[in-house]
């Protein structure tokens, strides 16, 4: 069956299905006569299983290991249960702290006294180290820092320069009805340019 039928049978979007395929979690066959992917009933069941496990918060890597039988589903679900218990505890604790803070009608940033809500500050930081750790690796967030983007842009540019002489004039990028759609090899310079445009030109506007 074609992807439109898969969407109807699973209730999932095409982008979800393509993502699972890109991650090699499903491997539909390709019809050589028309270039279309053909999905089997087994693929349908796999897609539903994968989507269900994702709703439980199980990572793509863990799902891949389950499929490859490198770890059992039982072990992963058991581990995820513990993760969710920790998250529930943290959320309940944060909710309690918020309720405590809201009892003060004059609550503001200026008159906020952390010591009024927690007695052992170092211990509290340690209990919430997983949250604070996110701040220490913020350079890995989507926008990243200027240094991170600069390194990525320069690396992509160097790779493009080194690979350019060895590439054919036209590079195939998409299979469409038995025909390979191609672009000029200069297209490999597009990503470094996009990095510069989005990071240094468009980002101030998107942040606003």
Q: What is the pLDDT of residues 148-205, one digit of tens each?
A: 777 877 888 888 889 888 888 888 777 776 677 788 888 888 877 877 777 667 766 6
pLDDT at 157: 83
Contact status, residue 60 vs residue 21, Cβ threshold 8 Å: no
Domain boundaries, the chain: 3-67, 78-136, 146-207
The answer to pTM > 0.75 is no
Averaged pLDDT for residues 46-72: 95
Helix/strand/coil percentages in the chain, nearest 5: 65, 10, 25
Provide, rounded to the nearest whole percent, the portion of the chain with pLDDT above 90: 42
More confident residue, 19 or 149: 19
Q: Which of 20, 70, 72 is nearest to 46 (CA)?
A: 20
> Span 84-90, mean pLDDT?
92
84 within 8 A of 57, measured Cβ to Cβ: yes
Question: What is the CATH code of the structural domain delimited by 3-67?
Answer: 1.10.1660.10
| Contact yes or no for 10/52 (Cβ under 8 A) | no
CA 82 and chain centroid, separation: 22
- The pLDDT value recorded for residue 69 is 94
Taking the C-alpha atoms of residue 115 and residue 138, their distance in angstroms, rounded to an integer, is 27
Q: What is the rounded distance in angstroms from the CA atom of residue 141 to the CA atom of residue 18?
A: 24
Q: What is the mean pLDDT of the chain?
A: 84
pLDDT at 134 over 70: no
Give yes or no for a contact between 66 and 72, defined as CB atoms under 8 angstroms apart.
yes
DSSP 19-68: HHHHTTS---EE-TTT--EE--HHHHHHHHHHHHHHHTT--HHHHHHHHT
């Amino acid at each position: 069956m074609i992807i439109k039928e898969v969407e109807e049978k699973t209730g999932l979007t095409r982008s979800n299905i393509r993502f699972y395929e890109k991650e090699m979690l499903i491997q539909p066959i390709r019809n050589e006569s028309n270039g279309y992917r053909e999905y089997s009933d087994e693929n349908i069941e796999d897609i539903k299983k994968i989507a269900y496990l994702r709703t439980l918060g199980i990572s793509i890597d863990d799902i891949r290991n389950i499929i490859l039988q490198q770890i059992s589903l039982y072990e992963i679900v058991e581990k995820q249960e513990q993760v969710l218990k920790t998250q529930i505890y943290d959320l309940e604790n944060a909710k309690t702290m918020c309720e405590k803070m809201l009892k003060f009608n004059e609550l503001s940033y200026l008159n906020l006294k952390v010591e009024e809500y927690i007695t052992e500050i170092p211990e509290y930081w340690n209990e919430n180290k997983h949250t604070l750790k996110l701040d220490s690796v913020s350079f890995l967030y989507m926008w990243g820092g200027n240094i991170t983007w600069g390194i990525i842009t320069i690396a992509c540019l160097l790779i493009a320069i080194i690979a350019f002489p060895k590439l054919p004039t036209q590079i195939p990028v998409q299979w469409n009805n038995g025909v390979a759609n191609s672009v000029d090899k200069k297209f490999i310079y597009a990503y470094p340019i996009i990095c510069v445009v989005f990071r240094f030109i468009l980002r101030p506007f998107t942040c606003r």
